[in-house]
Amino acid sequence: MQFITTRGAGQPVSAARAICLGLAGDGGLFVPEQFPSVDLHQALAQPDYPALAAFILEQFLTDYDPAFLRQTVRQVYGEAFGEGTAPLHKAGDGMYSLELWHGPTCAFKDFALQLMPRLLVEAKRMLGDSSTTAILVATSGDTGKAALAGYCDVPGVTITVFYPSHGTSEVQRLQMTTQQGENVAVYAVQGNFDDAQTGVKRVFSDPDVAKQLGAKGVQLSSANSINWGRLVPQIVYYFHAYSQLVRSGALKAGEKADFCVPTGNFGDILAGWYAKQMGLPVGKLICASNKNDVLTEFFATGVYNARRPFYRTTSPSMDILVSSNLERLLYHMAGAEKVKGWMKQLFETGSYEVEPEVMERIRADFGAACADDETAAAQIRSLFEEQGYLCDPHTAVAFSAARRNKGDAPMVVLSTASPFKFPKDVLAALGQPLPEDEFEAMAALAQYAGQPAPQALACLRSLPERFSTTIRPDALRDVVLGE
């Protein structure tokens, strides 16, 4: 399997090379040259999550030793996730919640970012690359901690995370600023996630930065979902969810299931579309957005307009106006030349418009809906009161969108973070008294809901903060170069 850039420049590269580079030299994103077709019954016959993960990864990472992949996924998903890798819970008539937050940092990003460091180290070994890999990460909340945890003290790798100042929950912030490890660094960036992400992309595309780092034996890479190594592990849990539906009798093998995904950078939902291209019987993929509804507008009108008001919401991981992975979908639907033109327009004017015939193909697979904070809060409360099910604000946004788009097929909502990451917002949605202190709120939520807060979150209160520097968006280059 070879990988090519969404903007058409350069030669195809191996999976190992794509994972090492992160972003293509022309600023585009790596995508597979073709989609492997899998036998559904063979996929459903895999005995557990690690076996299924190896089965899917082997279809794309064809230059990796299958024995390495099988051993690695069993170590990763066994050690980091325990018994409950991605449980599927019924949450109403024909509605299901796929809980993806039972890993070490209590967010769905763990599925990729516990595995990706091992894929990177093996890729460097395969390529004979002895350079230091400098991982740069822009995060809207969850990616930062998951990446820091995954890459902590990995030999030959440094990782620097940039998060928006005042743009994450307090728990998310503390998860990053208390991170241990000799090879990690964390900076708050003045502005929002798009400011941080744009700064990181500019560093990647700056030839002078590459030249200066290269002279020091340093190669840049990314742990954001712009890196193919982030996307491919996420394909697995769509197959896993479908397998659980079949085993529970909710549908028969070959019947379609719909999925609703709380969406910011478009990577998680794109993984579902990739699963569909491989042969998984996916009906509709519903893109759920919060008040930052740039994607909802795009699916409705074909116009992507990033020059719009930015809102801070109770679902901060979705507070994004430039959804990078949409570029990958546009490439598959319209090709590199179109993508180059649209991305140029986005950079120069902040918007672009996709032709009706392309949008018709996109809408055949995707739907979209948005929910503001008040709607999400109402959804948290109704789910708990009616179903006894507790969810976080991002998942609540998705449940709201899912209910409005529910058809005859089972609807699986991807639950992307533990509700205890956002204890104040969840408590407020449940109509409960609100303590001033974040950790008192966490304890109050645990008592009211009758379920314990994850220890990985509760322990943050006692950990010292190691990182407190705030920088301007235009200072990322200096940070990376050590100036």
Catalytic residue positions, numbered: 109
Nearest by Cα to 287 from 409, 143, 408, 402 = 402
**Phi, psi (rounded to 5 degrees) for 30:** -75, 140
Residues near 411 by beta carbon (within 8 Å), at least 6 away in sequence:
94, 95, 96, 257, 258, 259, 260, 286, 402, 405
- Rounded Cα gap, residues 283 and 254, in angstroms: 11
Nearest by Cα to 234 from 96, 391, 53 = 53
Give how far Cα 373 sits from Cα of 79, 101, 432, 467, Å: 36, 21, 17, 30
